[in-house]
Chain A
Amino acid sequence: MAKILEVKNLRTTFFTHLGEVQAVRGISFDLEEGDILGIVGESGSGKSVTSLSIMGLVDEPGRIVEGEVLFEGLDLTKLDQKEMSNYRGNEISMIFQDPMTSINPAFTVGNQLREVIMTHTGMNKEQAHQRALELLTMVGIPEPETRIKNHPYQFSGGMRQRALISMAIACNPKLLIADEPTTALDVTIQAQILELMRDLKTKINTSIILITHDLGVISEICNKVIVMYGGMIMEKADIISLFDNPQHPYTRGLMLSVPRNVTGKKARLIPIEGSPPDLMAPPSGCPFSPRCQHAMEICLKKAAPLFKISDTQEASCWLHHPDAPEVKGFVKVAGEK
């Protein structure tokens, strides 16, 4: 499989008047053609800033301070805004969390959709109109001929998200980034949208990065996962390894803190004590160390590299070091990656 995206040592910092907020602190990952990569993390983990960095949408006072974003081998961070806009919407596009604020309320859905198509493909208005109808049908909007004349307020939340997806896929992008696309939606609508995304992946052959805080959503449609915390990658794995055998204490903590719901006796939830790190003054070692029950002296001083557990799984935790004490369930590996 060809690599469509390579992120190398990406570092994005916001220079606010209160100090530097290190939102993304040196992360690297690859995306292969046809992957649906899930990035899971809590608020402040850096997952959204990662996606904005890829899209070249980090606004002042934020800046990519280090690293490369290679899209089909070309470093997007070196492009100026004009060059970047040839990629944005064409090759890479994005769906945001809140379908109401990312769509213009003053124009009809058709108007906005045609604009996207005409800007990027050079079609005339009539052709763009036909293409818009085709797209609305593809994303499952009933009676597209009528709906295309509607304003966004006449759409329900789920329909707006469908309309946004239709704009995002208008130019058959090679990469689609979806930032919490279903968080604002009800579960029955969420199931519809996830079904639609799965379906679109095969129809238009796009690779997807799905950002979410919900491990359930991840396991529904992703084949690979990155777990982020405090601006760093804690674990990267294929979906089966991650859920079968999580190799980072944070990943485990996340999985234990959601209800397992067995009938009969109620099992108590096992929370992760403490709260997420302050990114203004991140802990010097592993960002999870202040909350980690296995934390050792080295964890507080130095963040662990990604240890390669298997061909499909890497975890950034010192417990995998050959000299670390034995902890049940954590595999030790000979060398660092």
Chain B
Amino acid sequence: MENRIPLLEVKNLKKHFITGVLKNRKVLTAVDGIDFVIYKGETFGLVGESGCGKTTIGRTIIRLYNPTDGEILIDGIDIAKMSEKELKPYRKKMQMIFQDPYASLNSRMTVTDIIAEGIDTHHLLEGDAKQERIYELLEKVGLKREHASRYPHEFSGGQRQRIGIARSLAVNPELIICDEPISALDVSIQAQVVNMLEDLQDEFQLTYLFIAHDLSMVRHISDRIGVMYLGKMMEITTADELYENALHPYTKSLLSAIPIPDPKSSIRDRRVILKGDVGSPINPKPGCRFASRCRYAKSNCFEVTPELREIKEGHFASCHYIEEINGI
């Protein structure tokens, strides 16, 4: 992994939502100071349980949400505070594939109109050239030319997701944010879509931010993975390193909870089942977010928020006692 060029750098990104009014006003810290880098051509997986802020990160990077604080650098240029007008050329570089293939396609638009929207907005192509481009995109995602004039309701879930992917490719983006792109699909269809995403990545040198909660699929598709918990990054490292040598207690218990499709597996006996539930991101207390469920937690963990530190080369974790726990 030499000569890696960063495509996206996220620095101290925060996204807070205000809920309630007057004296019930509360701050929901969905994303609370996150740093990570995505290099050109790689797939960066972002995992975590519901409510950890992984979707919010994706939506903030693409500026569907305005960040509360922090920087989002695309090729070294900060887009976090840009106006909509300044942002337009950068929107072309980043596209998004959504989780729900039913909600993310306008049911009153034909497939052509759906895919053409980005091309029109950015004035890329017109007339026959545009139509030809749409046919080409449809074929790239495994659909047919004749599908172009149909409406979304005529397609199955897997086919709709393909339309969503064709739409994201239409403006020749560099970065595609895939927000749980396969979780709504059947198991036998998931593999089709994952293989296609891999092929498209090779063909168009795409960079992916792959957000998911299916840990085995994330390992399969990602080069590096970040693990989030309640708005904070707990651990970042390469996919294999994460699954073989996880350092953070949260990552360890998360990995240990994956059901294994092998009835004879011995992992089951060594499993650590995490007690309790994910806490609330509303007005969080200081200290490590995971402390209340962590079996190694000491008083310090409830007072001081640990920083994300590089423990080994390319392996980051945020825990005060990571060395002690892992015997490093």
Contact = CB atoms under 8 A, between A and B. Distances in A.
A106 interface: no
A187 B258 CA distance: 6
B259 A220 contact: yes
A240 B262 CA distance: 8
A302 B327 CA distance: 62
Interface string A213-236: 111111110000000000000000
Given A191-B271, A258-B216, A271-B191, A186 B49 contact: yes
Q: Which of B189, B198, B215, B259 has the most CB of A within 10 A?
A: B259
Contact of A259 (B49, B217, B240, B273): B217
Interface string B273-307: 11101100000000000000000000000000000
Contact of A215 (B217, B220, B261): B261
B186 A42 contact: yes
A195 B269 CA distance: 12
B268 A195 contact: no
Nearest to B157: A43
B127 interface: no
A67 interface: no
Interface residues of A, number: 44
B106 interface: no
A271 to B, nearest CB: 4
A214 B183 CA distance: 12
Nearest to B48: A186
Contact of B188 (A159, A194, A257): A257
Nearest to A192: B273
A220 B260 contact: yes
Contact of B220 (A195, A220, A259): A259
A232 to B, nearest CB: 16
Q: Which of A42, A157, A186, A266 has the most CB of B within 10 A?
A: A186
B115 to A, nearest CB: 21
A188 B273 CA distance: 7
B11 interface: no
Interface stretch (A80-88, A91-99, A272-280, A314-322): A272-280
B202 to A, nearest CB: 12
B326 interface: no
Contact of B263 (A43, A158, A243): A243
B309 interface: no
A131 B55 CA distance: 42
A203 interface: no
Contact of A271 (B156, B195, B217): B195
B190 interface: yes
B49 A188 contact: yes
Contacts of B159: 275
B33 to A, nearest CB: 23
Given A192-B274, A243-B261, A275-B158, A42 B188 contact: yes
Contacts of A253: 188
A191 B240 CA distance: 23
Contact of B187 (A190, A191, A195, A213): A213
A268 B195 contact: yes
B227 to A, nearest CB: 12
Nearest to A217: B259
Contacts of A254: 187-188
B274 A191 contact: yes
A258 B191 contact: yes
A219 B259 contact: yes
Contacts of A273: 192
A123 B277 CA distance: 33
B194 interface: yes
Interface in B40-69: 49-50
A266 B187 contact: no
Contact of B219 (A219, A240, A259): A259
Interface string B155-176: 0101100000000000000000
B263 A191 contact: no
Nearest to A189: B277
Given A187-B254, A270-B191, A158 B277 contact: yes
B156 to A, nearest CB: 5
A202 interface: no
Contact of B262 (A219, A257, A270): A219
A255 interface: yes
A258 B190 CA distance: 8
A191 B257 contact: yes
Interface in A167-200: 186-192, 194-195
B187 A258 contact: yes
A124 interface: no
Interface in B194-242: 194-195, 198, 213, 215-217, 219-220, 240
Given A43-B186, A272-B192, 12 more contacts: A42-B188, A159-B277, A191-B257, A217-B259, A219-B260, A219-B261, A240-B264, A243-B264, A263-B240, A269-B191, A272-B188, A276-B186
6 contacts: A187-B213, A219-B262, A220-B260, A239-B263, A259-B219, A275-B158
The 3 closest A-B pairs by CB, nearest first: A216-B259, A271-B191, A259-B220
